[in-house]
Structures are given as C-alpha cells and as structure tokens.
Amino acid sequence: DADVTQTPRNRITKTGKRIMLECSQTKGHDRMYWYRQDPGLGLRLIYYSFDVKDINKGEISDGYSVSRQAQAKFSLSLESAIPNQTALYFCATSDTHSSGTYNEQFFGPGTRLTVL
Amino acid sequence: AQSVTQLGSHVSVSEGALVLLRCNYSSSVPPYLFWYVQYPNQGLQLLLKYTTGATLVKGINGFEAEFKKSETSFHLTKPSAHMSDAAEYFCAVSDNYGGATNKLIFGTGTLLAVQP
C-alpha cells in the first residue's frame, strides 16, 4: 500500500461548490504539506502543518483552508470553488528534524481538480 | 527570498545522448538544493539532493548534479539518456537555514522527451 494516499484522485465540480481533498499517510511523519501544480508554474505551497496543533499558510493560501484531524490526516478545503482553482493538488509529508538538517518530503499521487 | 529558475521548459534528446537540465537558484543563505522527477500521472520522487559536503551529488537512475556556488547553479546531468527517463523534472531549494521549516521552493519544471 502507498505511504501517502490522496482522495479523490479526480474530481470535477462547479463554481461555488465546497470541495474537500483528503490526504492520509502511514509514514508516521509529523509534518504535512499541500501544494498545487499548474502548467508552467511548478508546485506552489498552499498550507503546511508541523503537528496537529500547528498549521501555517504557504505562499498561495487565499481561497483555501485546511484541517489536521490527526497526525496521519491533513485535509484541504475549497469553501467556494472557482475556475482558477483548477489544478493538480499534491499532499506531502516529512519527518521532524533539527535545525541545519533536511528530511525528504514524500509526495502523494495527486488529485486532479477541475472547476467548471 | 529564495527562488529557482529552470532554463528550458522542454528539452528533447536522443536515446543515448547526454541529458543536461539547467537550474539556477537565488538565496541569501547557504541553500539546500534538490531535483525531483515526476513520471506521467504520478507524484514527485526525489532524484537527489545537496545539503552539505561534496558538491557533486549522485542520485538514482544514473543522474547526478553539481552544486556550483560561484555560478549559483545546480544542473542535472546523465551521460546517456534512456527512454524511461522521459518525465518532468523539478529543481527546488529549501529555506532551511537557521530554522527548521523544511519548505521547498520549486522551479517551473522541465519536460524531458527522449527520442528513439
């Protein structure tokens, strides 16, 4: 089974609808991240969480919210979806580390969201 | 603020030819640098990383990259391309100096095509 799973894998919705994308991990990592990928723009960080009680905005958080229900689960919500939120969304996890070191981020398979 | 520039959004090589994907970074502090690969319909996978120490870094699948501080570059190379190398490649930098945020700043990606 995959270590980082995302549901759904594909979703088509209409403008104004509320959408939730879910991410679960079995790696036991404390840190989780949500990115969106757009053609020609690479990946951009939406939100990140260092533990259940620590949630932080990334560079493009407007229009999104998140919930860290447990160490293993991190959900991304679009309260009122709009067409320019059409993108590929990735969840990632990493282990906690001390200053001056780096721990690899592990990515889920992605959710392709289309907002009509 | 840190940033990454990948020169060439599309690169095409013949099977057996040298692969060179270019990445330049901007950082006011010593950077951590990464190359990720994304195969079609999959999430991102870490190819290699530079944190400290040896500036020539070897990764998976025969890829390597060299950190050149004077040129602010971290170009990815492979001596002989294989059809299975066709994918999108992302260079990334981490703003991890002095703290422990582990956030990644991605470049816009380079799509590598390998011709038979």
What residue ranges in chain A does DSSP mark as E strands?
4-7, 10-13, 19-25, 31-38, 42-51, 54-57, 65-70, 73-78, 87-94, 106-107, 111-115
d(Cα B10, Cα B85) in Å, to the nearest integer? 14
Say if the Cβ atoms of A109 and B32 lie within 8 Å. Answer: no
d(Cα B116, Cα B114) in Å, to the nearest integer? 7
pLDDT band at B98 (very low <50, low <70, confident <90, very high): very low
pLDDT for A23 equals: 98
pLDDT for A79 equals: 92
pLDDT for A21 equals: 98
Residue B108: how many CB atoms within 10 A of its CB? 16
Tell me which H or E stretch contains B26: strand B19-26
Spatial contact of B88 and B109, defined as CB atoms under 8 Å apart: yes
Q: What mean pLDDT, rounded, does chain B reach?
A: 90
pLDDT band at B111 (very low <50, low <70, confident <90, very high): very high
Closest chain A residue by Cα to residue B89: A42
Least confident of B1-5, B43-47, B66-70: B1-5
pLDDT for A39 equals: 87
pLDDT < 50 stretches in chain A: none
Residue numbers in A near B104 (CB within 8 A): 43, 45, 105
Instruction: Tell me what the mean pLDDT of segment B9-28 comes to.
Output: 94
pLDDT for A97 equals: 62
Tokens standing for A81? Answer: 């979806």
Helix, strand or coil, per DSSP, at residue A71: coil
Say if the Cβ atoms of B104 and A105 lie within 8 Å. Answer: yes
Interface mutation target, options B44, B45, B67, B93, chain A, most CBs of A under 10 Å: B44
pLDDT for B101 equals: 61
